[in-house]
Structure 1
Amino acid sequence: MADFGEILQSIGEFGLFQKTILFALCFPSLFLTFHLASLIFVESDPERHCNTDWILKSAPNLTAEEQLNLTLPRREDGSFSRCRMFAPVDWDIQAIRDYGLNDTTVCTSGWVYGNMKYDSTIVTDFNLVCDRAFLKEVAQAVFMAGVLVGCLLLGPFAESFGRKRATQIPVFLMLIFTVTTGLCPNLYLYMVSQFIVGIGYGGYRLNCVILVTEWIGPSRRSWGACATQLFGALGQSVLAGLIFYIRNWRLAQFIIAAPFAVVSVYIWFIPESARWLLGRGRIDEAKLLITRVAAINKRTISDSTLEKIVMKETERKGGIIVLFQSPVLRKYFLTIIMAWFSLNVTYFCLSFNVGNFGLDIFLTQAMFGLTELPAHILCIWLLEFVGRKVSLMSTLLIGGFLCFLILAVPQDNPIAVTTLAIAGRFFTNWAGSICSLYIQELFPTSFRQTASGLGSIASRVGGLSSPLLNMLTVYHWSIPIVVYSSLTVVSGGLGYLLPETRKKELPDSTDEAEGKVKDTLMRNQSETNKPAPSKSTKL
């Protein structure tokens, strides 16, 4: 009987086939980040004033300066109000000039925007200013809610219908609804479209990593978890360039859809996971696929080996029930999802706040992406050099401490604030790659997919919480920073509870995951090495 790990050693753990499928599945991650374009690249408080064209009915020849003087109240600093106007009246222009207007009201006919960095944003198109400004964070939360639902729906879907289908469907969802997002006439349809795009985003990120990891052997396992993040970091930098040249959010949506049209063609040729086929009892399909992979990797696999292909049955089943019945695995699980939740809260709080650090938004976004590239490249090797536990603890503790330092620097120093934000984001993103791999190595085969899916859901809850946490700045600018920095530091400390999994085989049973097998072997070895008791001789 041969398990799938032995088969991978025969056909190649990281040959041409694995490299090709790794690139094919990671390539869309280059553009996944672009879906945040309409949410990140917005002017949160653009220069504006109420539309007061009502007065032009009485005096169509008024200059722009006269119109503003007659129809807008002034603030304490002498500038025109950005959210109030004088209530329209049915007077002639001379009466308005003689007596003036006193009653004010909210902007009833929209706003006039000026000195804009962009040609068009969701803020200006949907008037997300003044008493509607909070809807920008709501739109961000709706997208992140879609990402969460994508993990909830397409995780179990992958178990029943295959990894291949669970990666194909999200691509088509993102293609179709990215286009409809650019055509939306109002905020409510925009949110619906973005919610469905989020479903595709979450489902693809979860299942593409699982599909590629199941084809890669243990010696290169870190590539499956880190390469997707690496492509995403590159996409962060490309995103800054895209929006710098394309400053209309609707046009950006159509440009974003173009690469997904290409992906939607080749995604049909991505092979299914042979490990999943074996688990579903589809042995003949798995054998045929394994033979093809061996040929692509220029390896040969004997008929006798093919006849031995059988998935090892785990000694305990039950998924999430077994997970929470085991005190040891429950401790590991709660620790790792706490870390994944915390780092995503920090990561997205910093990401969605990119326009408020004081430096040029395009430069800041480009630096966000460029600084992530070395993080994921280093992660591939350092995971094997220093181990999972030390890597996770150090990245979370350092990242959280750097975010705390934002409180200590003057907020009118944009260089210092941006530097600390980029550094904090660098380490939390690094920790995200570690979590993706760590959670697969902590739990046995019988519910590894369940644990990975639940961990991904926890991370998306963190992303969903981030725009809502950022809304607390209306009470004090420091509240979000204190919350997400504290969460990250606490999670880093709790990482001490996790075991080291470097250079260890993936556990196939609950006992192996809990370390009981190792303890039993050590006790047996100790008893074997004990000297035999001396026998007394009777005289």
Structure 2
Amino acid sequence: MVDYEAALEYLGSFGKYQKLKFAMLFVMQTPVAFHMLAMSFLAAKVDHHCALPGMKEAGFEPQDSECALNFSIPLVYNEDKDDWEFSQCTRYSDVGIYSLGNLSCPYFADKNETGERSATKCDQGWWYDRTQYHESIFTEFDLVCEKKAMSNIAQALYMLGVLLGSVGFGQLSDIIGRKKTLLPCLVLQIIFGVATAFAPDLTTFIIFRLIVGAACLGSFLSAYVAVTEMVGTDKRTLVATWCQISFAFGLMIMALLAYLLRSWRHLQLTISLINIPMLPLWWFMIESPRWLQSQGRDEEVERIIREAAKVNGVVVPESVFTTKKAEPKEDTGKYTVLDLVRTPNMRKRSIVIFFNWLVITMVYYGLGLNTSSLGGNDYINFALAGLVEIPALIGSIYATDYFGRRYPHSATLVLGGIACLFTPYLAPPYVAKHLNPLSITLAMVGKFAVTASFNIIYFWTAEMYPTVVRNVGVGTSSMWARVGGVISPFVLLSDTAWGPLPYLIFGVLSMTAGAVALLLPETLGVPLPDTLEEGEHFRRKKPNPPRGKEVKEQEMRLTQEDQTGNKV
């Protein structure tokens, strides 16, 4: 039997060979970020109002358009902006070519008087401001007025695909291996990503994107698990964090592509075809040695070790390849998700963990998808949101090694929550326009904080659950995270009721999650639990021994119990 753990003592936990393989997987993971937050640009919302047919025929020039709007579009009061603005969903029903052509601008220059005229819905379509976004599904499929929630539903169903992918492809990778799972995921991203770019209607767009979502998470998880399994245990947190950094790089590249390609179809086609150059890299990827070992495929593990030794310039002794096979451990039973909540302490711990995963994911994607509401340049805001993730991820490693897991995790969530609470009130109309950078800065602080907590919760969760249910615990937590991703677009939709509401929801939930996280045990520098019994009593405080008066009272109580046979 080949001992891969023993081989790492000679190869190094993260030697040259592992670094080369990791670099390839890092590049292959980067495009996943494109699809995960693409709706920020694919469904970009722009100013719009009812189309006014006949303006040109009536003699109105472009510079007269505001005059035509004053006469043709009702004014409505926007409470968030504390100002009057043109209706986006209605127009006056008595407007026609003749009436437009026979009225002069001074007649309808007063914006605050709508009179007694009747209004009707936009029966002739809509006019869209295409200054920044030339085309998006918002403008092409008219996702306005009664259909304004459809873009949020489309993103929610995409995240449902991500949920299905985490379950389906996660199990598939355990059956056929990480490498074999990665290839079909890459192919599905290309095929259905390209098909999405040519979707003739919104329903087709949603179905194709759902499949892309499942494939994206399948490829990310396969690569993520593969890199963490090829290195030593002391380097797992490091490579896992760099996997997350590949996502941040993807966000910054996405901002550049969106800036260059202002049509949603061109953008979708580009982010899908980018995966084609990744396919040749797949041939140079290795299967997870630990997975091969679990399948009894020692010859393949030996070949990988010898290849790694050659690249790393080391000699691995033959004893590594002839280790005596260990006696199989007695099967103590099958463990399910019910074991996570069967006992009181494990149940309390699991509820807090699941809540944290849900909130963190919901806030993360909520902030990522809502950068256009911050004011300023959408592309710069999106790129900054990706950029701040890099120091957040790297900093979280050092913070948890020095301060432990619990306090940095709780502090980042509370900090992110406070930032979210103040963000909308530092943007127009609440403050002057020149103070808008403060709002953007606070939003980036929120993104920084939630990204750091996202990284911490990954390995902290694995450390809190006992060995026998560790995979089940992390997998179930990840499913709750996907539920948060599904909920996030609907939270963003709450801005129709009140503009700042999404940020207030994110802020309150983040602070709540940070507070309840203090109920979880610290895991830094302590032996991790192996059995369910150890997990139930893990880091549980023992009662202090009785002292002084308490000892005397206890002795009297025991004496009375001996005499009467009953407890006092």
In terms of mean alpha carbon deviation, does 328-337 or 135-144 score higher? 328-337
CA 1:335–1:310 in structure 2 vs 1: closer, same or farther (change >3 Å)? farther
CA contact (8 A) 1:37 1:243 kept: no
Cα deviation digits, residues 428-462 of structure 1 (max 9, x gap): 01111112222233334444332222222211211
State how far apart, in whole Å, the 1-side matches of 2:421 and 2:539 are. 42
Residue 41 of structure 1: SS of its match in structure 2? helix
Where does the alignment leave 5 or more consecutive residues of structure 2 unmatched? 78-83, 104-115, 542-568
Counterpart of 1:112 in 2: which secondary structure? strand
Cα distance in structure 1, aligned partners of 2:75 and 2:493: 25
Q: Is it true that 1:85 corresponds to 2:101 in the alignment?
A: no
Q: Which position in structure 1 is the counterpart of 2:227?
A: 212
Question: Conserved in 2, the CA contact under 8 Å of 1:401 and 1:485?
Answer: yes
Partner of residue 462, structure 1: 484
Letter in 1 for 2:317: S
**Partner of residue 112, structure 1:** 127
Given candidates 33, 54, 60, the residue that maps to 1:63 is 60
d(CA) in 1 for partners of 2:69 and 2:403? 67
1:68-96 C-alpha deviation (Å, 9 max, x unpaired): 5799343268975432235599x994899
Offset, 1:184: 1.3
Q: Are 1:498 and 2:520 counterparts?
A: yes
The separation in 2 between residues aligned to 1:192 and 1:178, in whole angstroms, is 11
- Separation of aligned partners in 1, 2:73 and 2:194: 41
Alignment deviations for residues 233-268 of structure 1 (CA, whole Å, 9 cap, x no partner): 122222222222221221112221233111122123
Please tell me whether residue 357 in structure 1 is matched to residue 374 in structure 2: yes
2:259 to 244, 252, 271: 244
C-alpha spacing 1:454/1:189, structure 2 compared with 1 (3 Å): same
The answer for the alignment partner of 2:438 in structure 1 is: 416
Where does 1:373-522 land on structure 2 (aligned, <5 Å)?
373-406=390-423, 409=426, 411-412=430-431, 413-503=435-525, 509-510=531-532
Q: Does 1:319 align with 2:335?
A: yes
Between the aligned partners of 1:159 and 1:437, the Cα distance in structure 2 is 20
**Helix, strand or coil at the partner of 2:30:** helix
Deviation (angstroms), 1:464: 1.2
**Does structure 2 retain, via aligned residues, the 8 Å contact 1:73–1:84?**
yes
Bigger shift: residues 253-262 or 417-426: 253-262
1:300 aligns with 2:315: yes
Kindly provide the CA deviation profile for residues 49-80 of structure 1, in whole angstroms up to 9, marking residues without a partner as x.
33343x58xx9564355995799343268975
Write the mapping of 1:68-217 to structure 2, written as runs, cut at 5 A. Answer: 68=68, 72-75=72-75, 81-86=87-92, 93=98, 104-114=119-129, 116-217=131-232
Structure 1 residue 108: deviation in Å? 2.5
**CA distance, structure 2, for counterparts of residue 127 and residue 465 of structure 1:** 23
Is the contact made by 1:316 and 1:510 (CA closer than 8 Å) also made in structure 2? no
Task: Say whether the 8 Å CA contact 2:495–2:501 is kept in structure 1.
Answer: yes
How far is the alpha carbon of 1:104 from its aligned partner?
3.9
Is this contact kept in 1: 2:360–2:450, CA < 8 A? yes
Deviation readout 1:9-59 (Å, 9 max, x if unpaired): 343211122212222222233222222564112686523333343x58xx9
Q: How far, CA to CA, are the matches of 1:429 and 1:477 in structure 2?
A: 24
Aligned residues: 514
Cα distance in 2 for partners of 1:361, 1:230 equals 22
C-alpha distance in 1 between matches for 2:91 and 2:351: 53
Q: 1:95 to 1:281 in 2, by over 3 A?
A: closer
Alpha-carbon distance in structure 1 between the residues aligned to 2:334 and 2:69: 72
The one-letter amino acid paired with 2:513 is S
Per mean C-alpha deviation after superposition, the further-off stretch among 408-417 and 231-240 is 408-417
Verify: 1:49 aligned to 2:55, yes or no: no
In the alignment, the residues of structure 2 paired with residue 218 and residue 458 of structure 1 have an alpha-carbon distance, to the nearest angstrom, of 26
2:356 counterpart residue number: 339
Give 1:19's aligned amino acid.
K
Where 1:368 maps in the other structure, the secondary structure is helix
Q: Structure 1's 319 and 259: CA in aligned 2 closer, same or farther, altered over 3 A?
A: farther
Q: Distance in 1 between matches of 2:464 and 2:40?
A: 35
Q: Is the Cα–Cα contact under 8 Å of residues 72 and 84 in structure 1 kept in the other structure? A: no
Distance 1:405 1:313 in 2: 55
User: How many angstroms does 1:220 deviate by?
Assistant: 1.3
AA at the equivalent of 1:467: P
**Structure 2 CA distance, aligned partners of 1:23 and 1:423?**
29
Q: 1:436 to 1:295 in 2, by over 3 A?
A: farther
Please point out which of 251, 254, 271 is paired with 2:286.
271
Give distance in 2, aligned partners of 1:259 and 1:11. 34
Change (3 A) 1:244 1:372: same
In the alignment, the residues of structure 2 paired with residue 352 and residue 239 of structure 1 have an alpha-carbon distance, to the nearest angstrom, of 13
Instruction: List per-residue Cα deviations over 1:347-405 (Å, max 9, x = no partner).
Output: 11111111111222122112212211111222333332322223222222222222233
Q: Which stretch of the first structure deviates more once superposed, 376-385 or 285-294?
A: 285-294
Counterpart of 2:353 in structure 1: which amino acid?
Answer: I
1:3 Cα shift?
Answer: 6.3
Contact 1:340/1:435 (<8 A) preserved: yes
TM-score (norm 1): 0.84
Moved more, 260-269 or 429-438: 260-269
Quickly say closer, same or farther: Cα 1:38–1:185, change in 2 above 3 A. Answer: farther
Structure 2 CA distance, aligned partners of 1:272 and 1:518? 40
The aligned counterpart of 2:80 is none
Separation of aligned partners in 1, 2:272 and 2:396? 31
Q: State the distance in 1 between where 2:297 and 2:175 align.
A: 13
Q: Secondary structure at the match of 2:128?
A: strand
Q: Identity over aligned residues, as a percent? A: 27
Write out per-residue CA displacement over residues 478-523 of structure 1, whole angstroms, 9 at most, x where no aligned residue: 432332222222222222233333356766554665667999xxxx
> In structure 2, how many angstroms separate the alpha carbons of the residues matched to 1:280 and 1:441?
25
Q: Which TM-score applies when normalising by structure 2? A: 0.80
Indicate if the aligned counterparts of 1:177 and 1:194 stay in contact, CA closer than 8 A: yes
| Counterpart amino acid of residue 298 in structure 1 | G
- The amino acid across from 1:27 in the alignment is V
Distance 2:535 2:69 in 1: 74
CA, structure 1 residues 310+414, in 2 after alignment: closer, same or farther (shift >3 Å)? farther
- Describe the SS at the equivalent of 2:316: coil
The alignment partner of 1:28 has SS state of helix
- Can you list the C-alpha shifts for 1:123-161, whole angstroms capped at 9, x where unaligned? 111111222211121122122121111112112222222
Q: Which residue of 2 aligns with 1:533?
A: none
Work out the CA distance in 1 between the residues paired with 2:48 and 2:216.
Answer: 34
